[in-house]
Chains A and B, each alone.
Chain A
Amino acid sequence: AQSVTQLGSHVSVSEGALVLLRCNYSSSVPPYLFWYVQYPNQGLQLLLKYTTGATLVKGINGFEAEFKKSETSFHLTKPSAHMSDAAEYFCAVSDRGFGNEKLTFGTGTRLTIIP
């Protein structure tokens, strides 16, 4: 079964600083990988996803993530944090191929931006 580990349940960065949110998966076959963002009292919104091809994936709001097979990681970064980035971020995976409809989520990382 797939599992996802997000290191750091809370991350605080200063406005303008680099944002780094960590995600590792456990699977012998690289899965499809997703990052979602959840603002207070809202549902989840897809930031970006990796399926195949280029390992550096660009998403919305200036975020990007790099798939590293050797490290089984898919860390999320943003060069310069903005106050509006404060939210909960979830990494998720799904199996490739038929039957990949279900997502497995990590426990989430709450990002706080310090003015």
Chain B
Amino acid sequence: EADIYQTPRYLVIGTGKKITLECSQTMGHDKMYWYQQDPGMELHLIHYSYGVNSTEKGDLSSESTVSRIRTEHFPLTLESARPSHTSQYLCASSERLAGVNEQFFGPGTRLTVL
């Protein structure tokens, strides 16, 4: 079944640790996105990719980095986690249907940095 996966679903980690949030999709979509979502607030785009070896920063500045070496994989890395990074991170991918890019979301990773 075509889908989009995120691991881990929940992560509690200490300050200064390096972490990687995984995102994979089996739909063959070229475009992928990372959003940051704080409680009760809208989603903010922090990174996106239009294909392999393509990555761009989003509207919200983030200390995280991303890579896109394979079409299906779009991991997000924080080199040194801080409490301010505590948030929910949502990954999405999209396909163009009748001229409209429809985004499909993963279940999210809830990150807590102590």
Spell out A's residues near B (CB within 8 Å). Answer: 9, 32, 36, 41-46, 49, 51, 90, 94, 100-103, 105-108, 110
Give complex CA distance A9, B40 in Å.
8
Interchain pairs with CB closer than 8 A, number: 60
CB <8 Å contact, A102 and B98: no
**How many B residues, CB 8 Å from partner?**
29
Spell out B's residues near A (CB within 8 Å). Answer: 4, 6, 9, 31, 33, 40-43, 45, 48, 50, 58-59, 90, 92, 94, 98-108, 110
CB <8 Å contact, A32 and B100: yes
Give complex CA distance A44, B106 in Å.
7
What B residues does A43 contact at CB under 8 A?
4, 6, 90, 92, 105-108
Across the interface, name the chain A residue whose C-beta is closest to B94.
A101
What A residues does B59 contact at CB under 8 A?
102
What B residues does A44 contact at CB under 8 A?
43, 90, 92, 103, 105
What B residues does A105 contact at CB under 8 A?
42-43
Give complex CA distance A86, B47 in Å.
30
